């Protein structure tokens, strides 16, 4: 009985597979009508730059089974487009052929999700793993809005050119890059992707690390610590005192000294103790010599004395002094 049931099951499975194969063969969606000669068919019409520049890119390497040209040529990305090819043969005058299945630019451009989906079909790994749901994805940005796919060398990978691409959507950051104090973006030493994970990040503002501080420490490792005496706002967020893209103040500060410090270390009205006590926090100071203290703060800088403002390892450095 066991053998009989086994034979019956195998026979039934074979019939099912044969039936499924027959259905697939009859289904029109099972075999997209790709051009028989691949990219050669497309280049009968698209025979000039910038389209032909793709021949000099890794996408056109036929020896690599992962590339578009080793599969269906142009249609690997643009989708099977028999109607486009057919209509192109009969175009006269100012007529335009039926657009391909997936257009990446122009009036017939596919939705951003479709365009990005084409690229993610091969590139959804490592740096692109967080793309879906990222800020750029939610704002309908597709890969080709930033990347130039057909170019021999994508301008986005050139340090001098990358910021200009980002600035087309981020004019505020472009304006800040002209400020007196700024990261050397325009000098070609730093680019946006040095700090930001463009394709998505678990941190705020698309920073590369989980926090702003950890991102800053990649270059400013001396501020990382651990330190014996730590400055609370420094440990919380570098942005408490610094603005990263540019500032009219020195050292990318958000405000001129000493007013930046007085934002936390308030004036005479604050009667609390410690370094938040205004006049009362300084030895020998009282309300009667407020003019002297104001002169010290307005025309000099807290950093004249408190030089180790990011923290100190000195046993006597509780006030971050020299």
pLDDT per residue as tens digits for the range 78-125: 999 999 999 988 877 778 889 999 999 999 999 999 999 999 999 988
| 198: in domain | no
pTM: 0.77
Instruction: Tell me what pLDDT residue 289 has.
Output: 52
Query: 15-56: per-residue pLDDT in tens?
Result: 334 443 443 344 455 567 899 899 999 999 999 999 999 999
| 285: in domain | yes
Looking at the fold, whether 55 and 143 belong to one and the same domain comes out as: yes
- Cβ–Cβ contacts within 10 Å for residue 262, how many? 15
Calpha distance 317→254 (Å, rounded): 25
Query: 179-234: per-residue pLDDT in tens?
Result: 999 999 988 899 999 999 999 998 999 999 999 999 999 999 999 989 999 998 99
| 318: in domain | no
- Cβ–Cβ contacts within 10 Å for residue 138, how many? 9
Instruction: Tell me what pLDDT residue 95 has.
Output: 83
> Which of 118, 149, 180 is the last residue before a domain boundary?
149
Q: What is the mean pLDDT of residues 147-175?
A: 93
**Residues spanned by the domain of 125:** 51-76+109-149
| 145: in domain | yes
Find residue 311's DSSP bridge partners.
none
Least confident of 6-15, 184-193, 266-275, 296-305: 6-15
Q: How many residues does this entry show for the chain?
A: 322
The residues near 10 (Cβ < 8 Å, ≥ 6 apart) are none
Least confident of 12-21, 136-145, 228-237: 12-21
Number of domains in the chain: 2
Residue with tokens 């300084």: 282
Calpha distance 259→298 (Å, rounded): 8
| 312: in domain | no
Q: What is the mean pLDDT of the chain?
A: 83
């Amino acid at each position: 009985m066991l053998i009989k049931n086994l034979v019956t099951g195998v026979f039934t499975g074979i019939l099912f597979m044969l039936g499924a194969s027959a259905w697939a063969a009859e289904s029109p969606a099972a075999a997209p009508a790709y051009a028989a000669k691949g990219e050669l068919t497309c280049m009968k019409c698209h025979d000039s730059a910038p389209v032909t520049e793709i021949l000099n890119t890794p996408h056109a390497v036929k020896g690599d089974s992962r590339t578009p040209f080793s599969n269906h040529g142009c249609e690997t990305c643009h989708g099977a487009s028999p109607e486009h090819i057919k209509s192109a043969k009969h175009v006269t005058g100012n007529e335009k052929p039926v657009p391909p299945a997936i257009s990446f630019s122009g009036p017939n451009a596919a939705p951003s999700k479709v365009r990005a989906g084409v690229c993610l079909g091969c590139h959804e790994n490592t740096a692109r793993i967080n793309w879906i749901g990222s800020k750029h994805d939610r704002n309908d940005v597709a890969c080709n809005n930033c990347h130039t796919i057909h170019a021999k060398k994508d301008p986005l990978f050139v340090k001098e050119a990358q910021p200009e691409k980002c600035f087309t959507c981020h004019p505020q950051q472009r304006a800040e890059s002209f400020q007196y104090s700024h990261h050397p973006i325009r000098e070609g030493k730093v680019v946006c992707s040095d700090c930001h994970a463009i394709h998505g990040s678990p941190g705020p503002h698309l920073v590369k690390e989980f926090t702003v501080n950890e991102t800053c420490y990649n270059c400013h490792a001396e501020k990382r610590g651990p330190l014996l005496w730590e400055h609370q706002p420094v440990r919380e967020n570098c942005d408490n005192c610094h603005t990263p893209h540019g500032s009219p103040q020195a050292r990318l500060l958000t405000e001129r000294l000493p007013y930046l410090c007085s934002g936390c270390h308030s004036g005479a009205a604050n009667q609390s103790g410690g370094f938040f006590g205004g006049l009362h926090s300084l030895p020998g100071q009282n309300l009667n010599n407020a003019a002297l203290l104001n002169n010290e703060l307005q025309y000099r800088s807290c950093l004249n004395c408190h030089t180790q403002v990011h923290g100190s390892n000195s046993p006597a450095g509780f006030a971050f002094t020299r």
